[in-house]
Amino acid sequence: MIIDVHVHLHPTEEVGKMVVEMIKEKHGVGYYSYGTPDDYLKDMKAANIDKAVIVSFAPDNQLKNNNFWTVAITRPGKNQSAKYPMFIPFISVSPNMSGRKPVEELEHKLKWGMRGLKIHPVAQEFAPDDKMMWSVYEWLVKHDLPITTHSGVNIDCKSEFGEPKRWINVLDNFPDLKLILAHLGNGFWDQTLEIAEKFPKVMFDTAIAISYINAPTTLDDAEAVDLIRTIGSERIMFGSDYPWVNPAKDIERIKSLDLSEKDKRLILGENALKFLNLNKS
Interface residue list for Zn ion (CB under 5 A): 241
Angstrom distance (rounded) from CA 90 to CA 48: 22
Strands of the sheet with 203-205, listed across from one edge: 3-7, 51-54, 87-91, 116-119, 146-149, 178-181, 203-205, 236-237
Beta-bridge partners for 52: 4, 87
Tell me the longest C-alpha to C-alpha distance in the chain. Answer: 52
- Pick left, alpha or beta for residue 38 (phi over 0 → left; psi -120 to 50 → alpha; otherwise beta): alpha
Nearest approach in angstroms of CB 6 to Zn ion is 6
| Residue closer to Zn ion (CB basis): 69 or 90 | 90
Q: Which stretches within the chain are classed as H helix?
A: 13-27, 37-47, 63-72, 102-111, 134-143, 168-173, 189-198, 221-231, 247-256, 261-265, 271-275
Nearest approach in angstroms of CB 276 to Zn ion is 17
| Residue closer to Zn ion (CB basis): 129 or 241 | 241
Nearest approach in angstroms of CB 78 to Zn ion is 33
| Residue closer to Zn ion (CB basis): 241 or 263 | 241
| Residue closer to Zn ion (CB basis): 43 or 241 | 241
118 CB neighbour count, 10 Å cutoff: 24
Nearest approach in angstroms of CB 28 to Zn ion is 17
| Residue closer to Zn ion (CB basis): 56 or 263 | 56
| Residue closer to Zn ion (CB basis): 74 or 186 | 186
Nearest approach in angstroms of CB 148 to Zn ion is 9
Nearest approach in angstroms of CB 144 to Zn ion is 24
